[in-house]
Amino acid sequence: MNVYDGQRIASMLRGRGYTQTDDYTDADIIILNTCAVRAKATDKVFSALGRIRTEKKPDALMGIVGCVARESGADAFRRVPELNFVLGPQSYHKLPEILENPDARLFNIDLGGLEKFDEMPQMDASPAVAYIPIQEGCNHCCTYCIVPYTRGREISRPFDDVVRDTVHAANTGAIEICFLGQNVNGYKYTDANGKTYRLSDLIAAAAKLDAIKRIRFTSSYPTEMTDDLIDMFRTEAKLLPFLNMPIQSGSSNVLTKMNRPYTLNLYIDIVDKLKSARPDVQISSDFIVGFPGESDDDFEQTLEIAKRIKYINSFSFKYSPRPHTAAAVMPNQIPEKIKSQRLYKLDELLNEIQREFNESCIDSELECLCEGADKTGKHTIYRTPYMQQCIVNIPADTAPQLAKIKITAANKASLRGEIKK
């Protein structure tokens, strides 16, 4: 979601005559936007601000937007007095106010619902992968998660508005649509006529657009994986055979403490239904290790579910207490040393599973989407239907956007391949 927010802000500023630069010492306006789910992200923002404020142009505007702004609140001005604006994830559309009055301080972290979608102009052009937000916030209130505080309660966007944005993306360059939401598969909108729309309806609408060749969504919640959505994996060829469905822990005991209302057996049953509907579907996950009260046996169950599901890529983290969350004040906090040991062991297993899957793709032919040149400028990076990075030895300016690629080599991090003639 933060990537999408950044794209919208950049597009809005281009419409006002700005051009984007990665050199903050030459910038007229400097915007820091990142997620606040992990404590380290917040620390990095304020560390960066400490450096930027001494190196930026004297008259350059500087501010933070998004979840870190919402979490930090007005205290951000105390920590960094040079800040000009602090705007939350649902109020960054007010950024033009500081451009029109640069001597003022702009502060707004209100949870204003869907106002920003109405106020922001359409993006001037869509990248090949268009992120389309369909809802904001989350009602699940996991005990470790700051999202209900930073993004608010769940609100689903009107169906017609999402379709309008999807059509605009298709007409301005998009090939792949990625529907976004903190609880994306919980999308539910009822119109004035009483008709209710779900995520499966949005997928079906996107699939009708000729320009759109690939569809995916993230991040999904296990208990919201309804039968109509599972059936889309069976019937809709444009829906990629890849799903991020975080389990967080393999222990039902820990899941209860996390306030995630499903058991290990229910999660496995959902995966089995998905595999039955689409045998080639692959799953990725998020994991939190060292949650308060996590025993050695609880952690071993997490290792076992990773082996059972064989997640092809995952995000794994040590638990870190976040403000405004119930878990932050739970007893039996796990020592940092044990959390680090468990994370290392889990990462070793996940990396091996990912490497094995990547190697199993050698000699297969996959339709891949071009993402552009690598850092050297000599090769082109493609993305497979399973979100693997595939490097092809051709210049990006001659690379087709969609290509059938034969996989010739693999390691844990990426694939290599050749475009089939």
Whether pLDDT at 101 is above 80: yes
Measured CA distances, 232 to 151, 221, 240 (Å) = 28, 16, 10
CA 51 to chain centre: 27
Query: Mean pLDDT, to the nearest integer, of 376-390?
Result: 95
Of the residues 108, 134, 159, which one is the last residue of a structural domain? 108
Q: Is residue 341 part of a domain?
A: no
**In the chain, pLDDT over 90 holds for what percent of residues?**
82
Query: Mean pLDDT, to the nearest integer, of 315-323?
Result: 93
The pLDDT, as a whole number, for residue 114 is: 84
Measured CA distances, 152 to 34, 141, 218, 393 (Å) = 17, 10, 18, 45
The pLDDT, as a whole number, for residue 189 is: 98
Q: Is residue 373 part of a domain?
A: yes
Instruction: Please indicate whether residue 90 or residue 162 has the higher confidence score (pLDDT).
Output: 162
Of the residues 38, 73, 108, which one is the last residue of a structural domain? 108
Q: Is residue 273 part of a domain?
A: no
Of the residues 108, 135, 160, which one is the last residue of a structural domain? 108
Query: Mean pLDDT, to the nearest integer, of 333-357?
Result: 98
Number of domains in the chain: 2
Whether pLDDT at 42 is above 90: no
Return the closest-CA partner of residue 229 out of 199, 205, 209: 199
Residue 61 identity: L
**Structural domain of 382:** 365-419
The pLDDT, as a whole number, for residue 387 is: 97
pLDDT band, very low/low/confident/very high, at 126 (cuts 50, 70, 90)? confident
CATH number of 387's domain: 2.40.50.140
pLDDT band, very low/low/confident/very high, at 13 (cuts 50, 70, 90)? very high
Contact 62, 55 (CB under 8 A): no
Mean pLDDT of the chain: 94
- Neighbour-count burial for 336-356, b at 16+ CB within 10 Å, e otherwise: eeebeebbeebeebbeebbee
Measured between alpha carbons, how far is 233 from 247 in angstroms, rounded to an integer?
Answer: 20
State the CB neighbour count (10 A cutoff) for residue 360: 12
Taking only the tens place, the pLDDT of each residue in 268-316 is 999 999 999 999 999 999 999 999 999 999 999 999 999 999 999 999 9
Return the closest-CA partner of residue 144 out of 314, 318, 328: 328
Measured between alpha carbons, how far is 87 from 340 in angstroms, rounded to an integer?
Answer: 34
Helix or strand (DSSP H, E) at 256: helix 252-257
Q: Is residue 101 part of a domain?
A: yes
Whether pLDDT at 112 is above 80: no
Q: Is residue 48 part of a domain?
A: yes
Q: Is residue 400 part of a domain?
A: yes
E-strand stretches of 25-149 = 29-33, 61-65, 85-87, 106-108, 129-133, 135-136
Q: Both tokens of residue 345?
A: 């062991």
The pLDDT, as a whole number, for residue 323 is: 87
Q: Is residue 95 part of a domain?
A: yes
383: left (phi over 0), alpha (psi -120 to 50) or beta: beta
Whether pLDDT at 143 is above 70: yes
Q: Both tokens of residue 223?
A: 């208990």
CATH number of 86's domain: 3.40.50.12160
Place of tokens 């997640």: 311
Measured between alpha carbons, how far is 322 from 300 in angstroms, rounded to an integer?
Answer: 25
Q: Is residue 71 part of a domain?
A: yes
